[in-house]
Amino acid sequence: MPRSSSAELITLRVSIVKELRNKWKKERERNPYVNEHFGGFVNELLHDILEKDEFLRHYAPFLSEEGCTRDTLYIKDFKENKIAEIHFSENKLHCSLCDSFACFHIQFAMATPRVAKLNLDQKTIDNEIEEDGQQVKKITNNKRRRNTISRI
């Protein structure tokens, strides 16, 4: 594809290009109007992100993302002059400020890219699987024991 004089070369990580190419292919399969050029697709994707940021600034000018840890997203509310802490609880996003699963801070958090940095508690899921596994093991062992006893 010919580059226009206003184009600029940038370096992308190989792994990112691979992910982007997969996304582009999948989206082209679903929607024929997706840009037929990979470069054009990436440009549109980045432009969409910038537009979303602009939209958020208009939609919620009094909210701002202040930071993020592994399990909490911090959103400054300038109206309340307080920080809303958003984290996963019962597999849903929860706002500590409103004690709500459906407040404006949650809507805002959902629109930020960093929401994806919040880890769904893998440990809890793993522990549940582990506990289920242990339960099955116990039941199986009990049956075995009973069988052994009944055979005696």
Given the rule CB under 5 A, which residues bind Zn ion?
Answer: 84, 95, 97-98, 103, 105
Q: Which is nearer to Zn ion, 42 or 86 (CB)?
A: 86
Q: Which is nearer to Zn ion, 41 or 108 (CB)?
A: 108
Give the shortest CB-110-to-Zn ion separation in angstroms.
12
Q: Which is nearer to Zn ion, 35 or 100 (CB)?
A: 100
Q: Which is nearer to Zn ion, 41 or 77 (CB)?
A: 77
Give the shortest CB-106-to-Zn ion separation in angstroms.
6
Give the shortest CB-109-to-Zn ion separation in angstroms.
9
CA distances from 119 to 3, 84, 93, 111, 123 (A): 40, 18, 11, 16, 10
Closest of 71, 86, 66 to residue 118, by C-alpha? 71
Give the shortest CB-107-to-Zn ion separation in angstroms.
9
HSE-CB at 109 with a 13 A cutoff on CA atoms is 32
Closest of 41, 40, 9 to residue 26, by C-alpha? 41
